[in-house]
Structure 1
């Protein structure tokens, strides 16, 4: 396959994944609102959307910082020629840094509550 074809397929797949993530998140929130209405609760009072968005952006920011640190580590290792021949090493570094960032974001957001 040509490199432009591969990039096109990756782009289309990425767009489809983003749409599906948005769709299922929207569907879950709608079902949650319907359940709250059925139980007699006021969904506008119970769901404070501002704090939910702030918490999500806070977690996303920490994960992006963690992935950035992982990319910086990979770049340093590439410059020092100590990365080796393994293609799995950069992915494992990104996975570890991203996972650590998720754990840190979860702990920080739970301590705020």
Structure 2
């Protein structure tokens, strides 16, 4: 149990993002009958955010403490750099999905007449 305690601490520290992702997934289920495409995009974005949050907990709460006691910092730095870039890219994709969901299914406003 002590080996996974840092994971719980990391999830607790990121609980606002974790809760927002879970609530967003629930709201997408509520919106599903009326705005199916927007709800699907929100569901995908929130699921991606939830997975990133859990993966961050594993990387920083389990991998980092174990790797620093068993290996050199050079290898750990490389893995953390790759993970940071990948997580940032995944965050950008989730953010793009949310922006897409905000504007999907909207009609173009009529041109103003003089």
Do they superpose with TM above 0.5?
no
Larger RCO, structures 1/2 (Cα 8 Å, 6+ apart): 2
Give the TM-score of the pair, scaled to structure 1: 0.37
